[in-house]
Structure 1
Amino acid sequence: MAKDTLPAIGEAEASGEIAELYDDIRETLNVTAINYVWRHIATIDGGLRWAWDVAKPMFVSGRVESECEHLQAQLSYPKLPALSDTTLSLVGVEDDGRNMIGAILDTYNRGNLLNMVSLSALLAEPEMPPVGNRSRVDLPFTDIALPPIPEVVDLSGEVSEQVLVLNDLGAKPGPNRVVASIYKHIALWPGYLSLSWVQLAEMHSDGSLLKLIEETQQAARLHATFLAADLGPRPDGAVADQVRSTVFEFTDTVIARMIPIGQMLRQSLIKT
């Protein structure tokens, strides 16, 4: 079972340059929380500055969001059973909880697309995008302030176990050192964690979830090649090597995995 073994600098504990970079990342990506990948890169001495200096020009130009909108238009996922107010209430999720869970999922669904494509560009060789008009779909957005993210060690035994079981859904064989922040965040509503497992477990068992993840990863990496020419300066050295290694681990595992999972979970919360 996965364990949360990668260190990270939390938003509340960040200070100095790290706090300033977090503020810049939040403002530039138009999100209300910093994804785990950036919080882990921040533990590399000089890593967050290196990575953000490389990636930021793509965001400032609007190219990342535009490319992610083209990617979003291509993504199509099965619809999970819709969760009624009654179903959610029976597991302890009332209207306020439903709205906050939706805001959490919107934040991560936006951030995961932006991070998957932009960070994959750090590892990609540039290619020219297709000529002509391409379809696009707006990315999710919320300006609701989110509660702090609990860490796995801070959760009760049963809740932490449920988080880690969920984190293994759709995971590739081998070490799985990163626990998706979505699961830690929605662990504030343990009943919803259990519903999420019920919704996703069969897709994991029959292999369809892993197929969706691999298709998403392939599509995102293609769109990343269209951005690679827009990167900022990338000086080589030990910091660059550590950042690239981290980027590969996250984009090869947890970020790609959570794009389809997060979007399917969000769809099931929409009232019909």
Structure 2
Amino acid sequence: MSDPVPATVEAEATGEIAEIFADIRATYRIGVVNLIWRHLAVFDGALPWAWASLKPLYVGGHVAAAAAVLRADRPLPEAPRVPAAAWACIGLDPAPVRDVIAAYDRSNPMALAALTLLRESTAPGFVASGTPRAPIFPDEAPIPLPALLALHEMPPHAAEMVLALNAMGSTAEQPILASMYRHMAHWPGALALAHGVLAPLHARGELQAAIAATRELARKEAGRMATLLPRLPPPPDLPRVNAVLDAFIQDAIGRMVVNGGVLGAAFRI
């Protein structure tokens, strides 16, 4: 098994890409660079363009304001809380698992709002809709994370469970492999608990409906931020970069904003 999305490994990044990765970690205040940024680094000029365009909205508090709306208004399906006894049965302290989910629930709503804005801004006729929200500056401590495991580094049963979880809520033929589950693979028992939470919601179509509604919320927030986005020269292969943004917005990031929120509630972060 191999991870289907090519991406620059954080530890192997050099020069400008390494500097941008460090800036992203510092801005997000988590110990990882999300897959979308590492994937954009593969394309000539894409990561410098995307980050230079969006960083002013991050540091200016506008992306945080949009992300707060997404967290508050996303229509999360209800799932029962996983009781403390369930964690005890698998001999696992839930704290590090909760940290992983909290880190992604911090970064994914920001990424969804920001990248939706970036993608929409390249479409003909895109205009602002609404006024920018007041910026917010959350006082959030950095969240360190364990090493990001590749599928071949996991026990086979854990890798199988990661792939099963990755299908939850997706309508894509080959869903982009979400990094959150790769971090959770350090604790295979937590993957089993997560599957028990998400699988019934997926089977009933509740995750898919919530993901579609959340993407629409992100489009509205993008419209509010449109006047704030600097218009910088795009990368040489903009159509291909836009296809990447579409894939992540439609599948991976939008999906994980909902799934992370559901698991956060079920695991009670």
TM-score by length of 1: 0.89
Instruction: Work out the CA distance in 2 between the residues paired with 1:235 and 1:202.
Output: 45
1:214 equivalent in structure 2:
212
Deviations 1:104-156 (A, max 9, x none): 1111011100000001101222323269x99x999795523111110112212
1:110 aligns to 2:106 (yes or no): yes
2:103, 2:143 within 8 Å by CA — same for their partners in 1? no
Instruction: Work out the CA distance in 1 between the residues paired with 2:244 and 2:228.
Output: 21
* Secondary structure, aligned partner of 1:226: helix
Q: Runs of 5+ in structure 2 lacking a partner?
A: 121-125
Q: Which moved more, 1:238-247 or 1:150-159?
A: 238-247
1:238 aligns to 2:239 (yes or no): no
1:191 aligns to 2:192 (yes or no): no
CA RMSD of aligned residues (A): 2.4
Question: Which contiguous aligned blocks of 4+ residues in structure 1 show a shift greater than 6 angstroms?
Answer: 136-140
1:174 equivalent in structure 2:
173
1:204, 1:210 within 8 Å by CA — same for their partners in 2? yes
Deviations 1:55-114 (A, max 9, x none): 1121122111112223322224233222222211222312xxx11111111110111000
Aligned pairs for 1:14-163 (under 5 A) are 14-94=13-93, 98-124=94-120, 125-129=126-130, 141-163=140-162
Deviation (angstroms), 1:245: 1.9
Q: Which moved more, 1:46-55 or 1:189-198?
A: 46-55
Deviation (angstroms), 1:21: 0.4
Change (3 A) 1:59 1:126: farther
2:101, 2:264 within 8 Å by CA — same for their partners in 1? yes
Identity %: 31
Instruction: Work out the CA distance in 1 between the residues paired with 2:141 and 2:261.
Output: 14
2:128, 2:223 within 8 Å by CA — same for their partners in 1? yes
* Secondary structure, aligned partner of 2:119: coil
Instruction: Work out the CA distance in 1 between the residues paired with 2:219 and 2:46.
Output: 22
Deviations 1:172-217 (A, max 9, x none): 14332x1011111101110110111111111111111111111111
Instruction: Work out the CA distance in 2 between the residues paired with 1:43 and 1:264.
Output: 31
TM-score by length of 2: 0.90
Instruction: Work out the CA distance in 2 between the residues paired with 1:205 and 1:269.
Output: 20
Q: Which moved more, 1:40-49 or 1:70-79?
A: 70-79
1:200 equivalent in structure 2:
198
Instruction: Work out the CA distance in 1 between the residues paired with 2:141 and 2:83.
Output: 22
Q: Runs of 5+ in structure 1 lacking a partner?
A: none
How many residues are matched? 264
2:67, 2:113 within 8 Å by CA — same for their partners in 1? yes
